[in-house]
A and B are shown apart, each in its own frame.
Chain A
Amino acid sequence: MKKIRKIEEIFFRSMALMSSILIIFALGLIIFSIIKKGFPALSWEMVSQTPKGGFYFGKEGGILNAIVGSLFLATGATFLALIIGLPVALYINVYLIKRVKLVNSIRFLLDVLWGVPSIVYGAFGFAVMIYFGLKTSLLAGIVVVTLFIIPIMVRAMDESLKLVPRGLLESASSLGATKTEIAFRVFLRQSFPALITATLLSFGRAIGDAAAVMFTAGFTDSIPQSLGQQSATLPLSIFFQLSSPIEEVKNRAYAAALVLTVIILIISILSRFLTKRFKKNIIKF
C-alpha cells in the first residue's frame, strides 16, 4: 500500500513537471523564432514609416500604419467595451443580487458569446455593413471588436466582483448605503486591481485579433485620419507580409510580430504594476 502511494506520487509529480516544461518550452520556442527572424529585420525605419511603393516587394517603408491603426482600434474598442461592460458587471453583482437564476443565465449567455470565434463577429459585422451600405472603416472595426471583447471583459470583471464577500455588502447596506453607492464605493474599490487586469486583458485580445477586423476595418498603407477611413492592423500586416514569397518581406512579418509581442508585453507589465499599486486598500478575507 505504502509503495503504491509512493509510485502514485512520483508518477503525477513527473507528469506535472513534464507538462510544465513542455508549455514553457513551446512558449520559449515561439519567442525565440520571432526574435531570431524578426530582430535582424527590425529597424527604426520599420516602426517610424508607413509602407512606400513596393514595400510588399521588399522596397523601403515600415509598418507604422499598422502599429498606429492597431493602437487606435484596440484603445477605442477597449474604451467602448469598458463603458458598456463595467456597468453590466456591476449590475449583475450588486443590483441583481436576489435574482440568482437570471444572473446565472446572463453568465451562461456571456460564456457562449466568449466562445464564438472572432471570424463570426467579423462576418456578422460585414453582413450588417453590407445591409446598410457601409464601407470598411476604423469605426466599424472598433464596433465589431468591442462586441467581440465585451463578453471577455464582463466575465473577467464578474469573476472578481463575485469574490467580494457578502458580509461587505451587508456591512455597507447597514450603514445606509444605496445599491449605487455600494457598487461604486465598495465593489469597484475592492475589485479595482482585478478590474484593471480585466480591461488590459481585453485590450490584449483586441490588439491581437485578425479575423474580426479583416472585413470591417479593412487595410490601408496610410495612417487613418478619421474614424470613417480604413485602418491597417498589426495582425493583418503580419498576415500579408508572411504570404509574400520574398524572403526579406517574410522576415519583416516576424519583425511586425515582434512589435506586437512587445506591445502585449508592455500591457502585461503595466497590468502588474497597476495591480500592485492599487492593492493596498483591498481587504483580504
Chain B
Amino acid sequence: MENQNIINIENLNLSIGKQHILKNINTSIPKNKITVILGPSGCGKTTLLKSLNRLTDLNPDVKITGKITIDDINIFNTNIDVTEIRRKMGLLAQRPYPLPTSIFNNVTFGLRISGRTNKKFLLPRVERYLKLANLWEEVKDRLHEPASRLSIGQQQRLCLARGLAVDPEIILADEPTSALDPISSAAIEERFIELKENYTVIMVTHILRQAKRIADNVIFMYLGEIIEQGTAEQVFENPQQEITKQYLRGSFY
C-alpha cells in the first residue's frame, strides 16, 4: 500500500549559531495520518516541527540547508510569501497562547487578517470550528468574553479551533498536552484521531504511551538525527536500532 505523502524532507540540516541541531533529516509525512515525532528532550523534535512552517525564521543565527516540500512546493523558495506557507498549517504549542482578545476574535483572527470581516460570514465558521475543537458547548453563550477567562484546557482547544479556522491541511502539535490535566489531554488526543480524516497531523511528544495511543506513523529522533522511522507497528513492535529498543524499554527519556 502506497501512502500519498504531503511533506517531503531532503537532507535538512539546521544549525543555530555553532550548534548543529538537525543533522541530515530525510523523511516523508503521509497525508491524513497522525505522524508522531518521538524522542528524548533536546533531540531537535520541536525544531524539526517549527522548520516546517518556517517559525525558525524568527530565531537569530539560524542556518538551514536542504529542502522541504509541502504539496510539491519548496517552502524555502524565497519567491513564496511565508504567510501563505504558514496558513497551510495550524500550530498547537506546548501551552496555549490565546491572543489578547475575545473568544470570537481568537477563532476569527486568521480570517479577519485576510480581509473577511463580515459578521455573517464569520459567525457560522466560529460555531463550526469551535465544535470541531469540542469547545462550542462550553463557550457558546460567552463568545465575546476575553479568552483569558477560559481554563488552560479550554484555551488549548480554543487554539486548536483558531488554527483550524484558517483552513489548513496540516496540524502541527508541539507536545500539545504537556501543560494540560489528564482529561483535557485525552480531549485533545480524541480530537486528533477524529481530525485525521481531513487533516494531516504531526505531533511532537516525549510521552511514549501517548505516541502508542494515537500514532499511525513514527519518527524516532535522537541527538538531532532520525534514528528510525516507519509505521507505528514497525517502530513499536519491531524496532531495528539498538537506541530505539533502549528508548522503548524506558532505559532513558
Chain A interfacial positions (CB closer than 8 Å to B): 97-100, 165-178, 181, 185-186, 189-190, 192, 280-285
Cβ-based interface call for B147 (8 A): yes
Q: Is the CB of A189 within 8 A of B101?
A: yes
Could you list some 9 contacts between A and B, CB below 8 A?
Answer: A98-B58, A173-B86, A175-B87, A175-B166, A176-B113, A185-B99, A281-B100, A283-B148, A284-B148
In the assembled complex, the CB of A215 is this many whole angstroms from the nearest CB of chain B, namely 44
Given A97-B58, A176-B84, A280-B146, answer yes or no on A171-B159 (Cβ-Cβ < 8 Å): yes
In the complex, the answer to whether B101 meets A170 with C-beta atoms within 8 Å is: no
Contact of A175 among B95, B147, B148, B163 (CB under 8 A): B163
B89 partner residues in chain A, CB cutoff 8 A: 174
Task: Report the minimal beta-carbon distance from A183 to chain B, rounded to whole angstroms.
Answer: 12
- Within the complex, the shortest CB–CB distance from B97 to chain A, in Å, comes to 4
Residue contact A176 to B110, C-beta cutoff 8 Å: yes
Q: Does B176 touch A at the CB level, under 8 Å? A: no
Mark interface residues in B133-175 (1 if CB within 8 Å of A CB, else 0): 0000000000000111000000000010011001000001000
Cβ contacts under 8 Å, A190 to chain B? 100
Closest residue of chain B to A278 (Cβ to Cβ) is: B100
How distant is A159 from chain B, measured CB to nearest CB, in Å?
17
Cα distance, A285 to B50, chains bound together (Å): 21
- Inter-chain CA distance A192–B100, complex, in Å, is 10
Given A172-B99, A185-B113, A282 and B55 contact (CB-CB distance below 8 Å): no
- Docked complex: B101-122 residues within 8 A CB-CB of A: 101-102, 109-110, 113-114
Chain A's nearest CB lies how many Å from the CB of B63?
13
User: Is B91 located at the chain interface by the 8 A CB criterion?
Assistant: yes
Q: In the complex, what residues of A have CB within 8 A of residue B91's CB?
A: 170-171, 174
Please name all residues of chain B whose beta carbon is closer than 8 Å to the beta carbon of A174 when the two chains form the complex.
Answer: 53, 55, 86, 89-91, 163, 172
B98 within 8 A of A: yes
How far does the Cβ of A98 sit from chain B's closest Cβ, in whole Å?
A: 4
CA separation between A99 and B59, bound complex, in Å? 9
Contact A282 B100 (CB under 8 A): yes
Name which residue of chain A comes closest to B55, CB basis.
Answer: A170
- Given that A99-B60, A282-B148 are known contacts, is A173 also in contact with B100, CB under 8 Å in the complex? no
B148 and A173 contacting across the interface, CB-CB below 8 Å? no
Check if B93 sits within 8 Å of A176, measured CB to CB: no
Cβ of B83 within 8 Å of any chain A Cβ, yes or no, is yes
- A25, B151: Cα distance in complex, Å: 44
Q: Which 4 A-B pairs have the closest CB atoms?
A: A174-B91, A176-B87, A171-B97, A190-B100
A97 and B91 alpha carbons, distance in the complex (Å): 20
A178 to B94 Cα, complex, angstroms: 22
Cα distance, A75 to B214, chains bound together (Å): 60
Using CB atoms, name the residue of chain B closest to A99.
B60
B residues in contact with A178, CB < 8 Å: 83, 113
B50 to chain A, nearest CB (A): 8
Residues of A within 8 A of B86 (CB): 173-176
Closest residue to B58 on the A side, CB-wise? Answer: A97
Query: CB-CB < 8 A to A281: which residues of B?
Result: 100-102, 146-148
Q: Which residues of B contact A168 (CB under 8 A)?
A: 97, 99
Which A residues are in CB contact (< 8 Å) with B166? 175-176
Given known contacts A174-B86, A175-B86, A167 and B93 CB-to-CB distance under 8 angstroms: yes
- Give the docked Cα–Cα distance between A282 and B91 (Å): 21
In the complex, A62 Cα to B109 Cα: how many Å?
55
Partner among A99, A165, A185, A189 whose Cβ is within 8 Å of the Cβ of B97: A165
Interface centre among B86, B87, B163, B166 (most CB of A within 10 A): B86
Residues of chain B within 8 A of A170, CB atoms compared: 50, 55, 58, 91, 93, 97
Taking the nearest CB of chain A, how far is it from the CB of B59, in angstroms? Answer: 7
Which residue of the partner chain A has the closest CB to B155?
A283
Closest to A169 in B: B58
Which single residue of chain A is at the shortest CB-CB distance from B99?
A186
Residues of B within 8 A of A176 (CB): 83-84, 86-87, 110, 113-114, 166
In the bound complex, what is the Cα–Cα distance between A175 and B55 (angstroms)? 11
> Quick one: given A185-B113, A283-B100, are A171 and B148 in contact (CB under 8 Å)?
no
B172 nearest in chain A by CB position: A174
Told that A170-B93, A283-B99 touch, could you supply 10 new A-B pairs with CB distance under 8 A? A98-B59, A168-B97, A169-B58, A175-B87, A175-B90, A175-B109, A176-B83, A176-B114, A189-B100, A189-B101
Contact of A283 among B84, B94, B97 (CB under 8 A): B97
User: Min CB distance, B215 to chain A, in Å?
Assistant: 22
Distance A172 CA – B97 CA, assembled complex (angstroms): 9
- Cβ B83 vs Cβ A177 within 8 A: yes
